[in-house]
A and B are shown apart, each in its own frame.
Chain A
Amino acid sequence: MRVRLERTHAAGLVLWLALALASTAIAGAQETVASRLIAQARQQIEDINPDSAAVLLRQALDPRVGATIAEKVRAFVLYGVTELTAGHADGARRTFREALALEPTLRVDSLAELHESLVSTFEQERTALGATARPLPSVLELRGLPAGARVAVNGVVWDDRRRQVPPGIHRVEVTARGYLPYVDSIKVDPGTTLVRDIALVRSDNARLSVASVPWGIVYLDSERIGETPLFEQQVPAGTYTLRVESPSLPRPYEQPVELAPGRLTRLGTVGSTAPPSVSPPPLARADSLYRAVEFDSALVLYRRVVWDTVARHGAALRARAAMRSAMALVSMAAGRKEPALADSARVYFGVAFRAAPGFQPDSGEMGPEMRAIMEAARARVLGLVVEVPPDTLLPATGGRLVVAVRPTHQAMVGFRIVREDGGTLWTEARDAAGEIRFEWDYHLGDGALLTPGRYAVAVMARDPEGEVSPVVERPFTVQREAVDTLPHPTAPPATAFLPESARVPRASPAVLLAGVALGAGTLVMERVVGSSALNAGRSSGAGSYVVAGSVTVAAAVGFLAGHRTRSLPENVLRNAQVRAQYQRDRDAAIAENAQRRQNAGVRFRFDEAP
């Protein structure tokens, strides 16, 4: 062994001198002697010549070569590989310690294909030394998106689909023309690459919201599509004539509508016969006229606000305008001695309290007579106060969505949960004089959990005198809680598989047999195919011997120079186990993620009250 090492050193010295002279001759060459030796060693390792590789690496590590720190680290690792290949695990650990001493955060994952136990042995040595590895980056990759999709991760728009991200949960939002928005949260673990396939849902329909007082049947070009209130109902895009029919309306309400694909068209409450206003008048101007006792002029402006269905003023604003209209009418009735104006005032008081049942007028400006008229109107009006929960997260099972409804006086209150297509999911009606609470377990009739999407609560009431309340509609959005899902395991790299066959020298002996058979066939062909009458007593032609000999010799050469492939069943079995393990891990992650999503909480987010 000693002699061999000395010979090796001597050979190394000679080679080193030759290389040094060569490197001097090749002035300006960027490749150093050490890096060239290391590259050659790497090639020898890949050709399964660990002894040659070890010689080259010892030369690279010779101080006279002047290897850099990085080159030494690389040489030590490769030398460890040669030791592992030779079965010298202790020697490998020693060289790995040398490498770690120079580069404590070194990782050797990229060299894993050189030896199956390289990474594990190296990491064991690192653990023994107490060193820490350089962390792998966390990467998130999104796949399956249509062209033009806009991707925002944590609010930052991504131009690409794959980026390094800090470990943790990331909110992913994807929007694309013609698709429903997609929102999810994805957890990326440290040092892992998470690939997430995203399948967006197409949205080719338009959506329509329309209400009417009283309830009516809605038609689009004579086709019945539902009853009011319709809440974001999916309808085919196009241009239609919308018609609302109701026995309580003097005539059907009609208007042209253009429904754009993927867009929501809100028509508000239709059926009003009030003249439309182009723009809302400034209430300040009306108030000024009111204070100047210019009741007629003030009334004109207030009425525009009350009946303007185009601008869709808020309920409080309409209520205030209606209240001022009523007060102006009462004042005008007193001054002009016209009782009919007082009747109109009652109508406007009623409008005010229907628009905003909880509206509190500034009664300081009212005289006793006016207050009496107002209170009489308030008593007649059936109003509803609907209190919906704030942004609420409820468990998938066992929770209750609670909506409180308070009619202004005793009435039969009807409560409905409607979905985008107008269908009723849940309904309940109760007689109540005060606050009542509707509680829903947000599961459908078949027991299925309410799916994410847009819905609405629609409430109305009717008192014993037949007074019908306005329909109170409170849209809300249902989302499933973002859950932390497991990343799918990465597919085993090519280095995880062993070769399933080996190429061994010499072709199959059957090649020789085939050559002999063809040669023999050539010799006897003349007798087999030819006419016996012509060939009797004659030997085969010389040409047949030439060809037969050539074929036989060629087969012999082919046998000696050729190779054959030998299957390695143990590697085939091991590779199958690696594939099966990967499939099991992947199936387990998919099942676990499905379970987590199924158990995710349900978030109810009601729109702001109008």
Chain B
Amino acid sequence: MRARRLTLSAPFAAALLSVAMPGRAQTGGPSISAAGVTYLVEQRMRYVGTIHEQSGTWFGGEAQARLGRVTLRVSGVMGKLTGDTSVTNPDRDVRVSSISLGIRPALWLEVGADVAARRVASPASTVVTRLFGGHVALALALGVDGLSGNATAVYYPATDVTGDERLALAAYSELGLSYAPPRGAIVLRLAYRVERYDFSGSALGPARLEQVKAVVAGLGMRLGR
């Protein structure tokens, strides 16, 4: 089964790499950009055999500085997840902040380290999760200067949880596009993001699974190339 998956995905990978030309914003000199972002979020959580769903809108900002092959990013978003107001599915306030440092071995490829902190507060409890991991990102030029398709995968092998059981798995993936007109300072971003957090079970309770899906839209300004 795995071999078949690989066989099917190989042509796609080849196609991606064949157009893996850098977007214009990736090829120039030092640049700095900042953007406001909006997350349209749906969260799904399974606990003791029941699946709870919540939704909400998060707002925040991202900033990025690029010097040569090195890129530093910081971001922070916050918002509310609204459930069905029951005791088992209360509303939650969420704050997520992250920082990542990436390096580009090729103009279309970036690898790097990520640190994130996630705080989820409800009337019953407050869970703070600190995540340490790395990422791989691709940037594929889509024919027009400044237009590129982006794919990012982040995996956090090391986690630290306060207020809940430890995390057995934490990762997220994001696909989308960005557009930075060569003669302008505007940066547009649209992406679809899936986050996954699997909390381990313990003597006090069973395992809990969380999944966050979000449409991410961003609009910002950029200085430099």
Contacts and interface: CB of A to CB of B under 8 A. Distances in A.
B19 A508 contact: yes
Interface residues of A: mostly helix, strand, loop or mixed? helix
Interface string A291-308: 000000000000000000
Interface string A541-582: 101101110110011011111100000000000000000000
Interface string A512-541: 011101101110011011110111000001
Contacts of B179: 554
B92 interface: no
A521 B191 CA distance: 12
Contact of A558 (B144, B198, B214): B144
B217 to A, nearest CB: 9
Interface residues on B, range: 35 or more
B144 A530 contact: no
Given A510-B15, A541-B213, A533 B46 contact: yes
A560 B142 CA distance: 10
A554 B177 contact: yes
A507 interface: yes
Interface residues on A, range: 35 or more
A561 B142 CA distance: 10
Contacts, number: 121
Contacts of B151: 518, 521
B194 interface: yes
Interface stretch (B62-70, B113-121, B168-176): B168-176
A511 interface: yes
Given A554-B147, A555-B143, A548 B192 contact: yes
A521 B143 contact: no
Contact of A562 (B144, B190, B198, B209): B144
Contacts of B176: 518, 522, 547, 550-551
Given A526-B213, A535-B211, A546-B215, A513 B15 contact: yes
Taking each of A510, A514, A520, A559, which has the highest tally of chain B beta carbons within 10 Å of its own beta carbon? A514
B192 A547 contact: yes
B194 A547 contact: no
B171 A511 contact: no
A534 B149 contact: no
Contact of B16 (A514, A525, A529, A541): A514
A526 B215 contact: no
A544 B147 contact: no
Per CB-CB distance, the 6 closest pairs between chain A and chain B, nearest first, are A558-B143, A562-B143, A507-B143, A543-B215, A558-B142, A547-B192
21 contacts: A507-B142, A507-B144, A508-B18, A508-B143, A511-B143, A518-B176, A522-B175, A528-B173, A529-B171, A529-B196, A531-B211, A534-B209, A535-B44, A550-B177, A554-B177, A554-B179, A557-B147, A558-B141, A558-B142, A561-B144, A562-B143
